[in-house]
Structure 1
Amino acid sequence: MNQIATGTFTARKRRELNLTQAQLAERLGISSKSVSKWERGKCMPDYAVVNELCDALGITVSELLDGEENERENLRMYDNDQMIEMLARIQRLESQRVTIIAIALIVMGIGLLALSPLLGGSDLADFFRGMLFGIGIGTILIGVFLATRSVFAYLVQKE
């Protein structure tokens, strides 16, 4: 699954139907920014709108994911519902990966904070102590940011 090929194909099919990004977005009940991101290959359509997108563009799910028109005689191993379910699983796994990274960063930051008081006594040791403390705080903040973003993405996906 190539996001750029899928995006280019989506843009081409949309233009063939003389639709603007805003018109397509309105049909799907999403923002035109989402359509723009798809067409630039920045992200894939959410599995919740894939069927509606394919219907609006007159293509199949496999054509969307392949980024090209398929011959109708081609034998496919999966039907549209199975492909959408696989796309949903991929998106859930990506969200879980970000959450695990966030938790690891928070734990690592706490570890660095715990190590920083062990250093001290000379100017060089105080410098490293301060660096460990700063890196620990920064790591925790990045972890909290990623965890919060992951939670909000999960909540939006549930709606």
Structure 2
Amino acid sequence: MDSKKIGSFIAKNRKKKGLTQEQLGERLGVTNKTISRWENGNYMPDLSLLEPLSKELGITINELLAGEFIEEEKTVEYLEQNLLSTIVYTDNKIKNEQKKISSFIIGIGILICICSFTIFPSESSWSEIYSIAGLLVMVIGIFRELPLSSRWKRGLISSGIFILIAGIFFVVDFIGVTQFERPPIYRYKTTTVFDDMGNKLIEYQNLFYNVYRINADTVNEYYLIDRKKQYDIDTVPVSPFNQNISAIEHILQYENKYIGDNSNIGQLIGALPLSEHGYVYEIDSKNCGLIIDYHFTDWYDNEDLYTERALIYNSVSAFVLIENLEYITFNFSGSSYIVTRDSIEKNYPNYTEIFTDGSISTKNFRKYVEEKIKDPAFVSNVMKIFEKRESQDLE
């Protein structure tokens, strides 16, 4: 079916009848732009308009579809050709309409997925729900467009595509969890409790791994990704401090024989707890001491002995890492705490066992420091090692 030839034939007969495009359009109930598109060969008249259009132009439907006048003896021959052409044209038009619908469905699915990842935060379950819903819509559109007659095969391929894209979503989500420290979007269960130190602990259970959000909604919040699923909400190891910054594995890089390395000392203090409140420090080179002035009172933010736990952790860490450090003074606006290497070595339980063959053992540090400071009784007992001076005693 030659749309250009048919369009030219429509224009020729319209002019022959003395009609403008607007007049012909009014008689057919369409706009003059529609008539123009027909005559330019850009569009074909709708099948429902073939009969009224033919009457208005004074030609037969057979001649309209042929795009020329037909001699009587060739009417049957042209009729068969036009019938076949019309069937093909109609079939193609239906396919094109279906393709448009399928493309629209796929587009809607993609849009839903994009919105689910950008509008909703990862903590919201709606992100997971809408992304899966969007993926389902997308796959329905793909199912409609697969060039297979068997619905079973189309369904099988569509299911494979769904699993593949869902797998990509899971991988991207896992990368987001590991690289940006956020809850997983795809999870089947979320559990919130408070640990023994009173901090919020959230467990996100994924099909392939678990994520623990420790000290949630605090400055010491950090994430633990349990790829092997070896923990649960009751057994996961927790710390009152941000272990992604303050754990022995991260502060080990600041190990030094001498306290005089100012840059190294500054970086170590910045990685240890209490630094989140702001601080300044001074190195006493003559007596190999360290004086740290924190910008808050010692009772501030001290729920569940947080300040005491931090003082013990910071002291042991500093003495373990800086070989010639002899004493530390922690100054707050309310009080000061002084501790010496000698008192720590003699009175801190299992201090010598932190070392193995003269080197720091990360395993033993976790056992005798990180794990021990969770115990309030242990913390209270160790704090007796520190000499505390009230503000009035310092004046």
Q: Determine if the TM-score, normalized by the shorter chain, exceeds 0.5.
A: yes
Q: 1:100 aligns with which of 93, 96, 102?
A: 102
Structure with bigger strand share is: 2
Letter in 2 for 1:58: G
Counterparts of 1:92 and 1:52 in 2: how far apart (Å)? 22
What CA deviation, in whole Å up to 9, does each residue of 1:77-125 have, x standing for no partner?
5498x67974655544332221122223334556676636455539xxx
CA distance in 1 between counterparts of 2:39 and 2:67 reads 11
Is the 1:8–1:41 Cα contact (8 Å) retained in structure 2? yes
Q: Report the residue type matching 1:54 in the other structure.
A: S
> Higher mean Cα deviation, 67-76 or 31-40?
67-76
Hey, which of these two has a bigger chunk of helix by percent?
Answer: 1
C-alpha contact 2:3 2:44 (8 A) present in aligned 1: yes
Give the 5 Å matches for 1:7-156. Answer: 7-74=7-74, 75-78=77-80, 86=87, 90-108=92-110, 115=169, 117=173, 119-120=175-176, 121=179
Distance 1:41 1:118, change over 3 A: farther
Instruction: Check conservation: 1:47, 1:84, Cα contact below 8 A.
Output: no
Query: Given residue 26 of structure 2, which amino acid in structure 1 is its aligned partner?
Result: E
Residue 142 of structure 1: aligned partner? none
**Structure number with larger C-alpha Rg:** 2
Structure 1 position 34, deviation (Å):
1.2
Question: Structure 1: where are the runs of 5+ without partners?
Answer: 123-159
1:77/1:62 CA distance change after superposition, 3 Å: closer
The residue that corresponds to 1:128 in the other structure is: none
Deviation at 1:29, TM superposition (A): 2.0
Q: 1:46 to 1:119 in 2, by over 3 A?
A: farther
* Identical pairs, percent: 33
Instruction: Tell me the distance in 2 between the aligned counterparts of 1:42 and 1:94.
Output: 15
**Contact kept? 1:22, 1:32, Cα under 8 Å:** yes
Q: Could you tell which deviates more after superposition, 96-105 or 45-54?
A: 96-105
| Structure 2 runs not aligned, ≥5 long | 118-130, 132-168, 181-395
Q: Map Cα deviations across residues 8-50 of structure 1 (whole Å, 9 max, x no partner).
A: 1111111111111111112212221211111111211111111
